Chains A and B, each alone.
Chain A
Amino acid sequence: MSLEFDWLFLAEIMLAGLGAGGLYALTGLAFVMIYKATRVVNLAIGEMLMIGAYLCFGLATAMNLPMWLAILVAVIGSGGAGALLERVAIRPMLGESPIAVFMVTVGLASILVGVVELIWTSEPRRLPEFMPATPVMIGEAFVPSKVFYGFLVAAVLIGVALAVFRFWRGGVALRATASDQQAAYSMGIDVPKVFSLSWTVAAMIAAIAGVIVGAVGGISSTMGVFGLSVLVVVIVGGLDSVLGALVAGLLIGVVESLAGGFLGGEYKLLATFLILIVVLLVRPYGLFGTHEIERL
Chain B
Amino acid sequence: MRIGTARSSYRHDEALFDSRTQHAWLAILAVALIGFPFLADEYWLYLACLVAINIASTTGLNILTGYTGLVSLGQAAFMGIGAYTVAALEQKLGAPVLLNLLAGGFVAMLGGLVVGLPSLRVKGLYLAIATIAASVVLHFVFANWHAVTGGHAGITLVPAEILGLSFDTSFRLYWLFVPITILMVAGAANLFRTRIGRAFIAIRDRDISAEVLGIPLLRYKLLSFGLSSFYAGVAGGMWAYFFRVVTPESFPLILSIFFLAAVIVGGMGTILGAILGAVFMTMVPEALKLVVGWLPLSADATLILSPVRTIVFGVLIVGFLVFEPLGLQEIWRRIRRFFHLWPFRA
B314 lies within 8 A of chain A by Cβ:
yes
Residues on the B chain within 8 Å of A117, using CB:
306-307, 310
Residues on the B chain within 8 Å of A108, using CB:
314, 318
Asked whether A115 lies within 8 Å of B311 as measured between CB atoms, the reply is: yes
Using known A-B contacts A106-B317, A281-B118, determine if residue A99 contacts B308 with beta carbons closer than 8 Å: no
Residues on the A chain within 8 Å of B318, using CB:
89, 104, 107-108, 111
Contact string against B for A residues 101-137, beta-carbon threshold 8 Å, 1 for contact and 0 otherwise = 0111011111111111110011000000000000000
B144 lies within 8 A of chain A by Cβ:
yes
Closest B residue, CB atoms, query A296: B208
Comparing A151-159, A200-208, A266-274, the segment that makes contact with chain B is A266-274
Interface of chain B residues 306 through 333 with chain A (CB within 8 A)? 306-318, 321-322, 325
Closest B residue, CB atoms, query A121: B303
Closest B residue, CB atoms, query A101: B321
Using known A-B contacts A114-B307, A296-B209, determine if residue A102 contacts B128 with beta carbons closer than 8 Å: yes
**A121–B307 Cα gap in the complex (Å)?**
8
Using known A-B contacts A102-B125, A108-B314, A117-B310, determine if residue A277 contacts B321 with beta carbons closer than 8 Å: no
Asked whether B321 lies within 8 Å of A103 as measured between CB atoms, the reply is: yes
**A155–B58 Cα gap in the complex (Å)?**
45
Asked whether B136 lies within 8 Å of A270 as measured between CB atoms, the reply is: yes
A178 lies within 8 A of chain B by Cβ:
no
Partner of A277 from the list B130, B140, B143, B306 (CB cut-off 8 Å) is B130
A140 lies within 8 A of chain B by Cβ:
no
Using known A-B contacts A266-B144, A270-B136, A270-B137, determine if residue A111 contacts B315 with beta carbons closer than 8 Å: yes
Residue of B71, B133, B315 ringed by the most chain A CB atoms within 10 A: B133
A280 lies within 8 A of chain B by Cβ:
yes
**A46–B137 Cα gap in the complex (Å)?**
20
**A104–B144 Cα gap in the complex (Å)?**
34
Number of interface residues of B (CB under 8 A): 44
CB distance from A219 to the nearest CB of B (A): 16
Asked whether B314 lies within 8 Å of A280 as measured between CB atoms, the reply is: no
Asked whether B317 lies within 8 Å of A104 as measured between CB atoms, the reply is: yes
Asked whether B125 lies within 8 Å of A114 as measured between CB atoms, the reply is: no
Residues on the B chain within 8 Å of A276, using CB:
129-130, 133
Asked whether A122 lies within 8 Å of B306 as measured between CB atoms, the reply is: yes
Asked whether B322 lies within 8 Å of A118 as measured between CB atoms, the reply is: no
> Would you list the 9 A-B pairs with minimal beta carbon distance, nearest first?
A107-B317, A110-B314, A114-B311, A114-B310, A111-B314, A117-B307, A107-B318, A118-B307, A273-B133
Q: Could you list 24 examples of A-B contacts with CB < 8 Å? A: A89-B322, A100-B325, A103-B321, A104-B317, A104-B321, A104-B322, A106-B260, A108-B318, A109-B314, A110-B311, A111-B310, A116-B307, A117-B307, A117-B310, A118-B307, A118-B311, A235-B129, A274-B137, A276-B130, A276-B133, A277-B130, A280-B129, A280-B130, A281-B121
B interface residues with partner A (beta carbon < 8 Å): 71, 118-119, 121-122, 124-126, 128-130, 132-134, 136-137, 140, 143-144, 206, 208-209, 257, 260-261, 264, 303-304, 306-318, 321-322, 325
Having A93-B321, A104-B318, A228-B136, one finds 19 other A-B pairs with CB under 8 Å, namely A98-B125, A103-B260, A103-B261, A104-B322, A107-B313, A111-B318, A114-B307, A114-B309, A114-B312, A114-B313, A117-B306, A118-B307, A231-B129, A231-B132, A273-B132, A280-B118, A280-B130, A284-B126, A296-B208
